[in-house]
């Protein structure tokens, strides 16, 4: 069954950090989640579609750049569901296809300075990253990188981080 990671308010509504749910597409998985937690449906869905501001990723890739809610899923796929984020604060996500070395190059290019506690200081925000177990896709293993940003300018930086990571390091 595909695994679904829930963040922030979605985690609060379900009491779960991660769940496995039946479904052959993103839409089917969301419907299964809604049946299991009616409060989640009210928060996340409107007329069967995802409300504006929510982000859904399959193996670190935004479904908007795949096949949307009709993106097919395999048993090993991992979905990350993020509620809207406003202003400063904290945001984290796991991305596929980006190495720690590549992400370090991005941070340096953006003027980031390493701090002693594993964080990097950017203008108005701090960012840290860590390696996750690789995703197995057929006979291939895809590197996975967890990234977290916090601070007043975290949302501004997050858009840049997300774009760089979704390009897969290219």
Structure tokens at 111: 């003027």
Residue 35 has pLDDT above 90, yes or no: yes
User: Residues 62, 69: contact at Cβ < 8 Å?
Assistant: no
Instruction: Using the 3D structure, point to which of 82, 111, 142 is the last residue of a domain.
Output: 82
Instruction: Using the 3D structure, point to which of 58, 82, 106 is the last residue of a domain.
Output: 82
User: Residues 129, 148: contact at Cβ < 8 Å?
Assistant: yes
Number of domains in the chain: 2
Could you tell me the CATH number of the domain that includes residue 29? Answer: 3.10.20.30
At 127 the pLDDT is: 93
Sign of the alpha-carbon torsion through 54, 56, 62, 64: negative
Instruction: Using the 3D structure, point to which of 82, 106, 141 is the last residue of a domain.
Output: 82
Could you tell me the CATH number of the domain that includes residue 130? Answer: 3.30.1370.80
Query: Quick one: angle between helices 154-166 and 100-109, nearest 10?
Result: 130
Q: Are residues 74 and 114 in the same domain?
A: no
Q: Are residues 62 and 111 in the same domain?
A: no
Residue 38 structural domain:
3-82
Q: How confident is the model over 103-130, as a mean pLDDT?
A: 92
The larger pLDDT score, comparing residue 104 to residue 60, is at: 104
Q: Are residues 16 and 52 in the same domain?
A: yes
Q: Mean pLDDT for the chain? A: 86
Sheet strands (E) in the chain: 3-6, 18-20, 45-46, 49-50, 55-58, 61-62, 78-82, 89-96, 113-114, 120-122, 125-137, 140-151
The larger pLDDT score, comparing residue 99 to residue 72, is at: 72
At 90 the pLDDT is: 67
What count of residues does the chain have? 170
Q: Are residues 127 and 96 in the same domain?
A: yes
Residue 109 has pLDDT above 90, yes or no: yes
Q: Are residues 59 and 12 in the same domain?
A: yes
Please give the model's pTM, rounded to 2 decimal places. 0.53
């Amino acid at each position: 069954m595909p695994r679904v990671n829930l963040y922030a308010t979605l985690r609060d509504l379900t009491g779960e950090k991660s769940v496995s749910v039946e479904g052959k597409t993103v839409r089917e998985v969301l419907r299964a989640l809604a049946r299991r937690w009616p409060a989640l449906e009210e928060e996340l869905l409107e007329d069967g579609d995802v409300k504006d501001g929510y982000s859904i990723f399959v193996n670190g890739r935004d479904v908007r750049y795949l096949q949307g809610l009709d993106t097919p899923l395999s048993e090993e796929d991992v979905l990350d569901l993020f509620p809207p984020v406003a202003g400063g604060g904290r945001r984290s996500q796991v991305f596929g296809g980006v190495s720690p070395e590549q992400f370090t190059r991005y941070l340096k290019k953006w003027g980031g300075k390493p701090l002693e506690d594993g964080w990097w200081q950017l203008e108005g925000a701090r960012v840290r990253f860590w390696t996750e177990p690789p995703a197995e896709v057929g006979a291939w293993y895809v590197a996975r990188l967890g990234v977290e940003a916090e601070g007043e300018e975290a949302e501004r930086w997050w858009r840049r981080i997300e774009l760089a990571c979704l390009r897969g390091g290219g």
